[in-house]
Amino acid sequence: MARILLFFLLCVGAGSQPLKSQPLSEVRKQLEMALEHRLQFSQQKEHRIDSLKVQLSDRNPAERQFALLTAIYREYYIYRFDSAMHYVNQAALLAEKEGRESWKSQTSIQRAYLLTTSGHFREAELTLREVPRQSLPAEQLVGYYAAFEWLYSMWAEYSNDNVYAPAYYKKEMAYQDSLIRTLPPGSPYHTYWQAENCYRQGRYAEAESYYRKALEGQPVNVRLYAMCTYGIAMVSERFKRWEEYERYLMLAAISDQSCPLKENLALQQLAFFIYHHHNDETARANRYLNIALEDAAFYNNRLRLLEISRKFPEITLSYQQENERQNELLCWALAFISLLLLTLLAAVVLIVRQIRQVRAAREASQQQNEHLNILNRALSETSLLREQYVALFMELCAAYIAKLKQFQTLVSRKVKAGQADDLLKLANVARLGESDAKEFFQSFDASFLKLYPDFIGQFNRLLRADAQIVPRRGELLNTELRIFALLRMGITDSSKMATLLFLSPQTIYNHRSAVRAKAIDREHFETQVAALGQLLDENGTT
């Protein structure tokens, strides 16, 4: 495995300068290779982390123990939130026990970074405000300013309004300026932050120059490589250089996988780009978005989960429609082959009957004179010819039967291999069987409740106490809950709901009306449902 990963890194990380000259198809192959080996990259990282963990011991000197806890945190902080927070807390306890103020400041800065990444902005700000900035050494001051810059950047992005976001962006730029002044001039990170500063000010050509300079000599399996290539992609988007935009998003995604890190954005952005610009590659966009969702769930990044969950149905529905079209063509092909098979079978039956008639005539002709014997031999020759036609028809029939069986086996294998993804089960809804529909509903229910775990409880709080809706034993959701789950996902049209749930629009309307009649506030009930299902944080609060 180590040799495979080393070969991969040599292939895609030979240097930053040749990147622009690589064909887009080659970069895509490298991305597919990185995604194919994402498990091996993660295993390699876990092995590094385990090798650090085994060195932890209460018998270590305090300095050694703190250094190990910090090293483990640095492996985890862009890989897994809960684990990173655990080791920061362990380091903070050690700092408190030893009375080391610099250690306390370092752990507070690290904790604030994690809180920001997971969406706890107010807690992160309060934590950073408690750090004594005036007494920080230079290396901690860099982390301090970087943590504040990250906090207000993410807070502004999350707010996304005209009231709070501008104030957060202003604070972000102030701390970004402080960070640039603190970093060693000419260092790769100093150059990178100069690029970020230029980008924020709309000086895109200058920003790209700095990004490319910071990228020089960086191996693909370091985070700075991903940061710089993502920055170049954002500049390319501003200049509408779509091929370069796609190229550098793929390079950033390759770096994210090979580091590996789970706090990533490039693959998600790439999925949306493919969806909007490559209409024939919806399946690839859907696969990339699923991987981005898996990474966000693994890291426990609430912001990424919310962001992806808002856009996921759009790509998923398009992917489903594409599969429906493909399956409609497959069904027409199967119907044609079946009709041809029936025609061949009818021809075989007709020829067999004719052969029997010929044989009967041949037996009768044996009692006739020599002239009739001559005629009988002629009839025999005719019979032989007809038998050859029967054999030919039988071979054709067998060939089409084999082709049909092979076709069915191929379709089954593709589904089992996941090449059409789990959503292939949703395709061609009108032809789904009861077991397929049940499997589809189970998959939908599990996926929806994973994103909105408290949906049923919140939903029932909108209903009267005597009209609560509870799924039967063995069910995750029932029909009424699925209808309003779709409403929560933004699908309000009864016809679309009917298509997804294999019901008639009238049935959907009846269910909606019946449930609305049970609501505490009937007039605003569906609006309230559309706001339900907020994801839970780690403390169990919404």
3-state secondary structure of 29: helix
Write down the pLDDT at residue 448: 83
Write down the pLDDT at residue 96: 95
359 and 383 in contact (C-beta within 8 Å)?
Answer: yes
- What is the domain partition of the chain in residue ranges? 1-17+183-300, 323-426, 432-530
Q: Mean pLDDT lowest for which of 109-118, 311-320, 382-391? A: 382-391
Q: Is the pLDDT of residue 136 over 90?
A: yes
| Phi and psi angles of residue 55, each rounded to the nearest 5 degrees, phi first | -85, -15
Q: Residue 519: beta bridge partners?
A: 463
Write down the pLDDT at residue 147: 96
Q: Calculate the CA 79 to chain-centre distance.
A: 17
Q: Is the peptide bond before 260 cis (omega within 30 degrees of 0)?
A: yes
Q: Mean pLDDT lowest for which of 273-277, 334-338, 436-440, 472-476? A: 436-440
Write down the pLDDT at residue 109: 97
Q: Sorting pLDDT into bands at 50, 70 and 90, what band is 303?
A: low
Write down the pLDDT at residue 421: 59
**pLDDT tens digits, one per residue of 77-105:** 989 989 999 999 999 999 999 999 999 99
Mean pLDDT of 179-201: 95
Ranked by mean pLDDT, which of 361-375, 413-427, 508-522 comes out on top?
A: 508-522
Among 1.10.10, 1.20.1250, 3.40.50, 2.40.128, name the CATH number for the domain at 432-530: 1.10.10
Write down the pLDDT at residue 325: 56
pTM of the model: 0.57
Write down the pLDDT at residue 420: 58
Q: Calculate the CA 116 to chain-centre distance.
A: 23
**pLDDT tens digits, one per residue of 466-475:** 989 989 888 8
Q: Sorting pLDDT into bands at 50, 70 and 90, what band is 443?
A: confident
Q: Is the pLDDT of residue 172 over 80?
A: yes
Q: Sorting pLDDT into bands at 50, 70 and 90, what band is 150?
A: very high
**pLDDT tens digits, one per residue of 261-275:** 887 789 989 998 998
CA-CA distance, 182 to 18, in Å (whole number)?
Answer: 32
What type of residue sits at position 49?
A: I
Average pLDDT of the chain?
81
| Phi and psi angles of residue 519, each rounded to the nearest 5 degrees, phi first | -75, 150
Mean pLDDT of 16-24: 64
Write down the pLDDT at residue 249: 95
**Any idea what the Cα angle at residue 71 is, between residues 34 and 106, rounded to 5°?**
120
Q: Is the pLDDT of residue 482 over 80?
A: yes
CA-CA distance, 409 to 415, in Å (whole number)?
Answer: 10
3-state secondary structure of 524: coil
CA-CA distance, 355 to 241, in Å (whole number)?
Answer: 73
Q: Mean pLDDT lowest for which of 256-260, 309-313, 327-331, 403-407? A: 403-407
CA-CA distance, 248 to 231, in Å (whole number)?
Answer: 8
Write down the pLDDT at residue 347: 82
Write down the pLDDT at residue 540: 38
Q: Higher pLDDT residue, 246 or 404?
A: 246
Q: Does the fold of domain 432-530 match that of domain 1-17+183-300?
A: no
**Any idea what the Cα angle at residue 72 is, between residues 70 and 74, rounded to 5°?**
70
Q: Which CATH class is domain 1-17+183-300?
A: mainly alpha
Mean pLDDT of 285-300: 85
Q: Is the pLDDT of residue 15 over 50?
A: no
Q: Sorting pLDDT into bands at 50, 70 and 90, what band is 535?
A: very low
Mean pLDDT of 371-392: 52
**pLDDT tens digits, one per residue of 492-516:** 888 888 888 888 999 999 999 999 9
